[in-house]
Every structure is written in structure tokens, then in C-alpha cells.
Amino acid sequence: MATPDFIRELRRSAGHQLLWLPGVSAVVLDERDRVLLVRRSDSGAWTLIGGIPDPGEEPGEAIVREVYEETAVRVALERVLSVGATPPVEYPNGDRCQYMSICFLARRTGGTARVNDDESSEVGWFPLDGLPPLDGLQLERIARARSGEAATWFAPPVSERVSG
């Protein structure tokens, strides 16, 4: 994701230290239930579409904007899939971030998928049985989208994840 201006301003004083930021992502499906993915320009990894909401921007509005900015695809949101903290990420320039991420299920309503900014080198629709290599978090989000379960997934409290 391109670094928003407000993050660049924070980085002037924070340097590369870990920033706790809001994040949004989406499992975008088309009429054939294919998943829309982007290949990131910075890492070369295939991922779901995601980004950082602008200050004051609603999460749903942010992910609809991000999907269009990155892929030229228009979407309608269906539901929230999950809410939780991501593992810390270190970018090639040394910046470190951790995100409180809201992942949505979205359906394509228009547009033709293409690289629409400099954040991605490729964009494509993939059948569920033909996904490129994805990390575990991406695969978990896609599995939640396809499960048909209507409930939003929330990470368990840290106290329940830590064994004594």
C-alpha cells in the first residue's frame, strides 16, 4: 500500500519504530466466485486488497476506495469477516507497523480488473482451486468468506491465547 501523507508525517518523528495503525482488507469475489488478488510491488507477494483508512474515514468506505484505487473494480460490501490484530510487519525500507484490521467480504459490481496504481505489479481473478501462493492470514480470510458463516470472527483475548 502507498504510504498515506499522515503516516509520512508520523514517520518524520517516529522513525522506523513500530506504529499501531488501522487497516482494512477485503475478500472480493466476482459472479463466478473467483477471488481478486494483487501482487504487491514492494514484496512481490500475492495478497488480498488492503489499505489504511484516512483520518475520519469509515472502514467500509476505505476498503471500497482501496479496491478501486488498486484494481479499478467497483464493489459492494456484504459483511464484516473478521476483526483482529495482524502480526507486526516490517517493510523493505525498515518501517514497522502492526494493524488492527477489519476484513470485509465484497462482491464485484463493475469495472475491469487491472493494475490501477503503483502499489501492485499484477492484478487477477483466481478460482478457489487455483490460488497463487498466499500466506496463512490471506488463506484464513478467504476460508471465512467461503464458509457461509454469517458471524464475524474476533480474535480471542490474549489471556486465552497465552498458555501458562
Tell me the pLDDT tens digit for each residue of 101-155: 999 999 999 999 999 999 899 999 999 999 999 999 999 999 999 988 777 878 7
pTM of the model: 0.87
Task: Give the other-Cβ count within 10 Å of 112's Cβ.
Answer: 9
Look at 42 and 130; give whichever has higher pLDDT: 130
Is 158's pLDDT higher than 80? no
Per the CB < 8 A criterion, the answer to whether 59 and 24 are in contact is yes
Is 163's pLDDT higher than 80? no
Is 164's pLDDT higher than 60? no
